[in-house]
Amino acid sequence: MTSASERTRTTITRLAEYAVDDRARLDQLLDEQLIAHVGVVRADGYPMVLPTAFARDGDRVLLHGSTGSPWMRRVADGAPVCVQVTAADALIVARSAFESSLRYRSAVLFGVCERVEGAAKASALDVLTDRLIPGRTAEVRRPTAKELAATLVLALPISEWSLKVSDGWSDDPDTDLAGDAWAGVVPMVTGYGAAIAAPDLRQGIAVPGSVSRLVDRQSTALGWSVGDDTKTCT
C-alpha cells in the first residue's frame, strides 16, 4: 500500500486496481474524446470546472477560447489546472442495484498551461479544427488576423497524469449468483447522424468531403445506416 508520504496528485487511492500507467492507453482516450473538463481556482478563491473542446497534439493537450474569457486569461497567466476526460463505455448491469456500475475510462491531468503564439498558434488551431472534423482546414479560409488576436490558445504538457479504467463485470456476491436476476453489460455507443444544412446556405453547395467522410466512417464503425434525417441500426 502506498504511504501518505509517497502519494502524489496522480496516485489513485480508491479502487487502485483500476489504475493504468500505459501512456498509449491514455493517448487513445484523449484521441477519442472531444470534450474535457478544466478545473481552475478563480482569482477570488472559488473553484470552477468548465467543459471545453480539446485536442491532443503529441505530448500536449491544446485548449482554446476567447481572449475575453476570464478563466482562459487566468489559466494563460499561469494558474494551475486539472483537466479531466472521461469515456463511458458500457453499463454494468449487476444482480443488485448496489453492484451495478459503469465500464469507463477516466484520465486526470495536472499542470500549468503555456500560451501558444505566432505561427505555432495558427498551426495549433488547425490541429483543433481537424480534430473535430478531419480535413476541414483544407476546405475553409484561413483565420484572419483579427480572429487570431481574439483567440487564446493554451497547451498543457502531458507529464503529470493518472488513468483509471473499469472494463470488467459485476462483482456479485455468491448469494446473488443463485438468484434469477440477469447480469451483464450494455455497451454505450455514440455517432453522427446525417448532416443538416444551415437554413441560410446558398443553393447548390454540397456537403463537403470532410463532413461526408466523418459521417460515413462513424456510421460504418457503429453499424448504422444513415438516411436523410434518421439513423437506424443495421
pLDDT, tens digit, for every residue of 217-232? 766 656 655 444 444 3
- pLDDT tens string 51-80: 999 999 999 999 999 999 999 999 999 999
- The pLDDT of residue 6 is above 60: no
CA angle 77, 82, 87 (to 5 degrees): 135
What are the extents of the domains in the chain?
A: 7-188, 192-234
Report in angstroms the alpha-carbon separations of 226 from 132, 177, 205: 20, 41, 20
The Cα 107–Cα 29 span in angstroms is: 8
Domain 7-188 has CATH 2.30.110.10: yes
Placement of cell 472531444 in the chain:
34
Band of residue 233 on the pLDDT scale cut at 50, 70, 90: very low
Q: How confident is the model at residue 4, as a pLDDT?
A: 53
Q: How confident is the model at residue 234, as a pLDDT?
A: 37
Placement of cell 487570431 in the chain:
148
Which residue pairs from 70-77 have beta carbons closer than 8 angstroms and sit at least 24 positions apart in sequence?
70/42, 71/38, 71/40, 71/42, 72/152, 72/154, 73/152, 74/40, 74/42, 74/43, 75/38, 75/40, 75/113, 75/154, 76/113, 76/115, 76/152, 76/154
Q: Which run of H or of E encompasses 184?
A: strand 184-187
